[in-house]
Structure 1
Amino acid sequence: MDNTKRRLLSEKIAKGFMHLSGITVTASLFFIVGTILYKGLPYLNWEMVSQLPKGGFYIGKEGGILNAILGSLYLAGVATALSAFIGIPISLYLNIYLGTNSRVTQFSKLLFDVLYGVPSIVYGAVGFGIMVYFGIRASLLGGIITVTLLTIPIVVRTVDELIKTIPEDLKNVTLSLGTTRWELAKVMLRSIRAGLLTAILLAFGRAIGDVAGVLLTTGFSDNLPKYIDEPAATLPLAIFFQLSSPIPEVQGRAYASALVLTIIILIIVVCTHILQSKQKNRR
């Protein structure tokens, strides 16, 4: 077999594997979503998403998951805001003040890449250790601390990739006008504005879907937290607790809760794609 035929055969094999991988991933996605819809849709109603759990909710009686929905939104919203407040300046500092070729910058990016891939249960253990040290009980505050640590690497690395898309000519022209590095940072932030929202939405999506981290730190409550030091329910934990029940009614509600979480994530994904399209059109 000559080199041309060997290359064509290799290309066909590689193409076949790519098609097989695509079909497998797509089929898995449809299977998961289809299962959630099939098992959860019959139990999803206005009462479930608009009421707090009542007595006997976890044995199939009246009530809803409003506490878990709002608890997840509180937790993910505050944690995402904090991670953006911390992560965006870190990324700007590494790229503008230290420079992309700095050894500190390269090491920091490697460190954030590692932190990006660390399982959330590890962040839960770290957050739990912080809570024990400062005497914080399982609460919304504990969950916010843990999820903020979890999402900071997401924001830092996403913003770093966005900064790479900025033309070098823009940076050079801005500096040649006698601007300070802080003024350059503001110019760069304006040019990646849509991308910043994408980074924030990605962090929010990771935050609202986390279960291992909040399992150790947030606790669980059938009531809405009035203060930040009170336990709070989240959708992933509500799904976990309901799915552990042997009662079919409660298990169905678990799938309905998963459907609510899936819809929230779907909205985030759609918004992310819209913002990414706007970012590409501006280049």
Structure 2
Amino acid sequence: MLRRIYELGHSVTGTISFRRKAVDRTMKALFCLAAVLVILPLFIIFFDLLIKGGKELKLTLLIDLPHPVGEPGGGIANGIVGTLVITLLTMMWSVPTAIMCGIYLAEYGKGKFASAVRFAADTMTGVPSIIMGIFGYILLVLPMKRFSAWAGAAALSMIFIPVVVRTTEEMLRTVPMTVREAALALGIARWKATLRITVRTAWPGILTGILLAMARIIGETAPLLFTALGNQFWQTRLDQPIAAVPLQVFTYAISPYEDWHDKAWAGALVLITMVLVINIVARVLTRQKR
């Protein structure tokens, strides 16, 4: 009798164990499938661009100005330089502003005003980029009566700042409170402890957020259509229309010329490569932090 009960119990236990293992393996397979579905579009886009734009990916593409229709060659050198100029202009004042705002929210922000700032940052993160372009057009282009690099940088800063603000706040909150208390116990002023200890501790994460936000604004087209407009030549004045890679890709893509379509694919490949490099650097910094 006891042996029968033991065999029955062992059989039930084995059945339950088999079911658990089957469910576990099924869920693992579903998780792996979901992960593949997430990264698959990136590889499809990259290899499609590589196939369609690879034939135009030459040195002349990176060092020459755009040529008129019908002339062989031509490149997007002015667009690459313009993208770098607009991005640097955006970060020149957006990075300090965003970091200081994030420090305020993490270290000093309490009450309704801080909640309103967080709500505004979260809301602006989800606003379509074309709205930022229209706002930049009304705020800067119409009063100045011209498109310019400054207007483009202002429109992109409205996309850049909310992301860095929230990233800075979250990274500062990961610093243990004991670190702050130890600094204050040594008699260090709170603002000095915040800048020299708390911010320095969280700096790899903050820098990662800055790079990811930069990768996002590099590929934006809609805000620049309303503010920077684009240019087919070298432009050294920041108060004039300036070229950018997304704008040139857009111009080439909507044209009726096959040669320009090929250059659009090549320009898109250059653009996505820039974004990938920035994201890889951000991942390396995050890994070093861990």
- Provide TM-score, normalisation by structure 1: 0.89
The change in CA–CA distance for 1:277 and 1:19 in structure 2 (over 3 A counts) is: closer
1:185 maps to a residue whose letter is: T
1:103 aligns with 2:112: yes
1:182 aligns with 2:195: no
Work out whether residues 211 and 282 of structure 2, in 8 Å CA contact, stay in contact via their aligned partners in 1. yes
Q: Which residues in structure 2 correspond to 1:161-172 (within 5 Å)?
A: 161-172=170-181
Q: Deviations over 1:179-221 (max 9, x none)?
A: 2221122121211222232122112111211111111111111
The change in CA–CA distance for 1:241 and 1:84 in structure 2 (over 3 A counts) is: same
Partner of 2:94: 83
1:49 aligns with 2:62: yes
Partner of 1:221: 231
1:234 aligns with 2:244: yes
2:272 maps to a residue whose letter is: T
The change in CA–CA distance for 1:6 and 1:252 in structure 2 (over 3 A counts) is: same
The change in CA–CA distance for 1:114 and 1:179 in structure 2 (over 3 A counts) is: same
Report which stretch shifted further, 213-222 or 58-67. Answer: 58-67
Work out whether residues 80 and 207 of structure 1, in 8 Å CA contact, stay in contact via their aligned partners in 2. no
Structure 2 gaps, min length 5: 1-15
**What is the aligned-residue identity percentage?**
30
Q: Deviations over 1:44-78 (max 9, x none)?
A: 10011001123x1x456332100111101111122
Q: Deviations over 1:58-109 (max 9, x none)?
A: 456332100111101111122023211110011112222335xx33323322
State the distance in 1 between where 2:163 and 2:70 align.
39
State the distance in 2 between where 1:175 and 1:20 align.
50
Q: Please, which of 119, 132, 139 is the counterpart of residue 123 of structure 1?
A: 132
2:223 maps to a residue whose letter is: G
1:23 maps to a residue whose letter is: V
Instruction: Name the SS for the 2:66 alignment partner.
Output: coil
Instruction: Name the SS for the 1:192 alignment partner.
Output: helix
Work out whether residues 140 and 232 of structure 1, in 8 Å CA contact, stay in contact via their aligned partners in 2. yes
State the distance in 2 between where 1:73 and 1:243 align.
22
Partner of 2:147: 138
State the distance in 2 between where 1:107 and 1:14 align.
41
The change in CA–CA distance for 1:116 and 1:169 in structure 2 (over 3 A counts) is: same
Work out whether residues 249 and 268 of structure 2, in 8 Å CA contact, stay in contact via their aligned partners in 1. yes
Q: Deviations over 1:238-276 (max 9, x none)?
A: 111111122222111111101111111111011101111
Work out whether residues 50 and 65 of structure 1, in 8 Å CA contact, stay in contact via their aligned partners in 2. yes
The CA RMSD over aligned residues, in Å, is 2.3
State the distance in 1 between where 2:145 and 2:156 align.
15
State the distance in 2 between where 1:192 and 1:151 align.
19
Equivalenced residue count is 275
Q: Please, which of 53, 61, 65 is the counterpart of residue 72 of structure 2?
A: 61
2:50 maps to a residue whose letter is: L
2:226 maps to a residue whose letter is: L
- 1:6 is displaced (CA, Å) by 9.8
Partner of 2:288: 278
Q: Which residues in structure 2 correspond to 1:240-259 (within 5 Å)?
A: 240-259=250-269
Structure 1 gaps, min length 5: none
Partner of 1:113: 122
State the distance in 2 between where 1:18 and 1:163 align.
31
The change in CA–CA distance for 1:184 and 1:267 in structure 2 (over 3 A counts) is: same
The change in CA–CA distance for 1:247 and 1:134 in structure 2 (over 3 A counts) is: closer
State the distance in 1 between where 2:20 and 2:127 align.
39
Q: Please, which of 208, 214, 226 is the counterpart of residue 204 of structure 1?
A: 214
Q: Please, which of 32, 38, 41 is the counterpart of residue 28 of structure 1?
A: 41
**Pair member with larger Rg:** 2
Instruction: Name the SS for the 1:118 alignment partner.
Output: coil
